[in-house]
Amino acid sequence: MLSRGFLLLIINGAILAGCAVFDYAWRSPVLIGLMLFLPLLDSTRTPVGTPSGVYSTVRLKAYLRILLFVTGFIIIILNPDYASIAVSTLAFAALPEEWFFRAYFMQRLRQLATEQQWTSKTKSGILSPGILANIMTSLLFSLLHTPTQSWFGLTTFFPSLFYGWVYQKTLDLILVILLHALSNIIFFIYIVGTP
């Protein structure tokens, strides 16, 4: 029998996917609103795990945040035509996507995988609940990028895996949001190249 939390997670993912598939005038604001609002509906969510290793230190996380912010600031100073793109990618892409996919969806999947024992207990730990949740979240993340970016959207799977790994190691949403925003800014400036 599926738990209430798992059903709500499937419904929230399906709502987001359904709204992402179709092309309509208010598509972006609707998706941003859903990514920010849907996690608030899940009252069964509880924090999962504690970060381990050197990545969990407060000082290192603060230094990484500062490094990402300063790097982004320098890039924008050197490329002022991209200032509005930088602000919009932070506010309308990185923040809602990381809030929904990492802080809510991935953590909830990890919790459910742990509770339901979806993964086997192997010595190598290759199929841990955290890895399974990160892979499933990254698949959804990349599939939701295909309507606007065609098949190129599937390449977001790999950065998504990295963002998921960083979030699981640090449980620092701000750090992952800054990392996501910086990588988008670098992509727009140095790969796409049009302001």
pLDDT greater than 70 at residue 119: no
Confidence of residue 73 (pLDDT cuts 50, 70, 90): confident
Write the CB contacts of 138 (distance below 8 Å, at least 6 apart in sequence): 157, 158, 160, 161, 164
Give the type of residue at 101: F
Is residue 195 a contact partner of residue 85, using CB atoms and an 8 Å limit? yes
Q: Is the pLDDT of residue 60 over 50?
A: yes
Mean pLDDT for 77-81 is 91
Q: How far apart are CA 112 and CA 2, in angstroms?
A: 10
Q: How confident is the model at residue 48 (pLDDT cuts 50, 70, 90)?
A: very low
User: Domain spans of the chain?
Assistant: 4-192
Phi-psi region of 49 (alpha: psi -120 to 50; beta: other; left: phi over 0): left
Residue 89 and residue 188 in contact, taking contact as beta carbons nearer than 8 Å: yes
Distance CA 153, CA 141 (A): 9
Whether the Cβ atoms of residue 130 and residue 49 lie closer than 8 Å to each other: yes
State the chain's maximal CA–CA distance in angstroms: 56
- Phi/psi for 47 (5° steps) reads -60, 145
Segment 154-187, tens digit of pLDDT: 999 999 999 999 999 888 899 999 999 999 999 9
Phi, psi of 45 (to 5 degrees): -70, 135
Report pLDDT digits (tens) over 24-45: 888 888 888 888 888 877 665 5
pTM above 0.85, yes or no: no
Which residues fall within 8 angstroms of residue 108, CB to CB, at 6 or more apart?
5, 9, 42, 45
